[in-house]
Amino acid sequence: MKVCCIGAGYVGGPTCAVMALKCPDIVITLVDKSSERIAQWNSDKLPIYEPGLDEVVKKCRNVNLFFSTDIETAIKEADLIFISVNTPTKTCGNGKGRAADLKYVESAARMIAEIAQSNKIVVEKSTVPVRAAESIMHILRANQKPGIHYDILSNPEFLAEGTAINDLLNADRVLIGGEETTEGHEAVAKLSWIYEHWIPKQNILTTNTWSSELSKLAANAFLAQRISSINSLSAVCEATGADVSEVARAVGLDSRIGSKFLQASVGFGGSCFQKDILNLIYICENLNLPEVAAYWQQVIDMNDYQKRRFSQKIIESLFNTVSDKRIAILGFAFKKNTGDTRETAAITVCQTLLEEGAKLDIYDPKVEPEQIIDDLTHPSVTESPENVKKAVQIHSDPYSAVRATHALVICTEWDEFVDLDFQRIYQSMMKPAYIFDGRKILDHERLHQIGFHVQTIGKKYQRSGLLRSWGIVPQL
Ligand code: NAD
Ligand code: UDX
């Protein structure tokens, strides 16, 4: 069997790499319209950082895994084609700011229709709105050449960045949605056969196409909802003296609830949660289900509130002004073990501090400096990119980032931050020295002993006499 995957990104890359590793009898060609991305996939420095990915790619590349810009040949030769292109939120027109933009999916479908000379199984790997498969089928059938048959399957991807290889190797489940016809069942069986090379058959779930498409949006909505739920309670904890970690543990030990995804934080980021929930909201609005739309909107609103609340807490703690103060930002990626910054909470934190006149010293072990500058000078973040460039310095080492700063803010839970020499950091910072732990990863007791003023999420504010005398901290 020959497989082609259109879209060599965070999903297409790791998915095809693992498939190639586990299916030596299948030839997989991963294509992309970006020649730069393909060149990176063919080089020693892959375009994305993902633990374990380098090893898998090195093992399979040019054996049964190929990276190419020759989309035409790959489509022509393939029996099965994954569409794994990006489906971002629309930025203009109908559904702006909510609906998924399907222009890349549509263009992939049109390429297939134009190029195909034999039967193809077309698999939606991208996350799409419910009934998107119908649109793909419409495009394919409207341009169908005589004697060519298409089957469309939905096969959403559940991997998380930072753990993608493990998630792919040990998937909880693989979901395949198809048409309830004989041809549909045959197509499902062919795709299932690929996964059966390494996934136990009982973990391969088959449903109708629409259930499969909706399940992907539902899974992300449920996961994000848990984070917003615990983050909402973190505000209650800060106001009452309860500790959100203790609450999460107590709640999560109920086996009906479970302990995962209850880590309170500065807010969820990443390219999926917000986009997919907005997509679900848009679908609900169009189906005239305003109550359902409003329900899911709250998950996003709570996340925005959490990001704002944390940023405001930094300003208030620093005597209500950060103007011309140096603040170190440790971590810029949306989570650890990735260099991805899409929708990262760090952008909101930096944006708020920059608007208040702060100077930022930023360090992240995997995010490229140009990416940080691009994110912070984006028109949606600032109207004066030149001022931002002057106010931001990117560091290649955390100790240089914290030197002579008034505060240190943890935005990403990188393991290496836990083991930093905080005694050394304290000595190099301005006094009073503040730490704002947006990820709850540090040993706060020890930091207090060193002399830091520590603020975190979901634990009562440590009121110092100094702050009370400034009249900034409200009494309960
Ligand atoms: P990405 O932006 O990293 O990669 C998409 C790639 O598709 C880009 O390299 C782009 O150049 C390419 N592309 C777009 N149109 C093309 C075309 N017509 N021909 C050839 N190449 C084209 O996106 P991603 O993060 O890999 O996400 C892909 C899809 O998977 C999205 O629908 C996303 O919602 C979904 N998804 C993402 C994740 C994740 O963790 N990133 C997880 C599950 C599902
Ligand atoms: C998510 C889904 O987990 C995955 O199944 C889907 O395929 C794509 O979207 P991803 O966005 O890569 O994956 O990472 P995830 O681990 O879900 O984290 C998303 C955000 O939530 C991160 O910013 C993370 O730090 C945050 N998070 C996660 C919390 O704040 N608390 C938690 O308990 C878990």
pLDDT at residue 93 tops 70 = yes
Ligand 1, closest atom to CA 128?
A: 32
Q: Which of 385, 338, 391, 322 is nearest to 362 (CA)?
A: 391
Residue 257 clears pLDDT 70, i.e. is over it:
yes
The contacts of residue 85 (CB under 8 Å, 6+ apart) are 6, 7, 9, 104, 105, 107, 108, 126
What percent of the chain has pLDDT above 70?
A: 97
Pair of tokens at residue 19:
């498939």
> Ligand 1, closest atom to CA 127?
32
- Pocket of ligand 2, candidates 335, 414, 415: which has the most ligand atoms within 8 Å of its Cβ, to mutate? 335
| HSE-up of residue 459 (Cα within 13 Å, Cβ side) | 19
In ligand 1, the atom with minimum distance to the C-alpha of 272 is 34
What rounded mean pLDDT belongs to the chain? 96
Contacting residues for 193 by C-beta, under 8 A, at least 6 apart: none
* Distance, CA of 82 to chain centre: 21
Q: What percent of the chain has pLDDT over 90?
A: 96
Amino acid 282: pLDDT: 97
Q: Work out whether the CA dihedral 275, 279, 281, 282 comes out positive or negative.
A: positive
Residue 461's pLDDT band (cuts 50, 70, 90) = low
The domains of the chain, with CATH numbers, are 2-199 (3.40.50.720), 208-476 (3.40.50.720)
Q: What is the distance in A from the centroid of ligand 1 to the CA of 10?
A: 7
Q: Which atom of ligand 1 is nearest to the CA of 161?
A: 40
How many whole angstroms separate alpha carbon 385 and alpha carbon 168?
A: 39
For atom 18 of ligand 1, which residue has the closest CA?
108
**How far is 221 from 203, CA to CA, in rounded Å?**
22
Three-state DSSP at 410 gives strand
Ligand 2 near 220 CB (within 6 A): yes
Q: How far is CA 422 from CA 22, 343, 380, 400, 435, in A?
A: 44, 29, 35, 13, 10
| CA 10 / ligand 2 centre spacing (Å) | 14
pLDDT average, residue stretch 453-462: 88
pLDDT at 400 over 80: yes
Please tell me whether 451 is known to bind a ligand. Answer: no
Each residue of 37-88: pLDDT tens digit?
999 999 999 999 999 999 999 999 999 999 999 999 999 999 999 999 999 9
Q: Which amino acid is at 4?
A: C
The reply to whether ligand 2 has any atom less than 6 angstroms from the CB of 263 is: yes
Question: What's the CA-to-centroid distance between 277 and ligand 1, angstroms?
Answer: 17
Residue with tokens 């090893």: 55
- 182: exposed, middle or buried (Cβ count in 10 Å: 0-12, 13-18, 19+): exposed
Q: Which of 237, 272, 284, 350 is catalytic?
A: 272
Does 69 contact ligand 1 (Cβ within 6 A)?
Answer: no
**Ligand showing the shortest atom-to-Cα distance for residue 115:** 1
Q: Tokens at residue 30, please?
A: 């991963």
Determine the Cα–Cα distance for residues 17 and 13; give it in Å rounded to an integer. Answer: 6
Average pLDDT over residues 104-133: 96
Q: Which residue has its alpha carbon closest to ligand 1 atom 27? A: 86
Read off the pLDDT band of 444 (50, 70, 90): very high
- Mean pLDDT along residues 124-151: 94
The whole-number pLDDT of residue 139 equals 95
Q: Is 5 a catalytic residue?
A: no
Residue 472 has pLDDT above 50, yes or no: no
DSSP conformation class of 203 = G
CA nearest ligand 2 atom 14, residue: 160
Residue 473 has what pLDDT?
A: 47
Q: pLDDT tier at 298 (50, 70, 90 boundaries)?
A: very high
127 lines ligand 1 (CB under 6 A): yes
For residues 424 and 330, give the distance between their C-alpha atoms in angstroms, rounded to a whole number: 16
Cα(42) to centroid(ligand 1), Å:
18
> What is the rounded CA–CA span in Å between residue 325 and residue 321?
8
Collapsing DSSP states into helix, strand and coil, what is residue 49? coil
Instruction: Report whether pLDDT(464) > 70.
Output: no
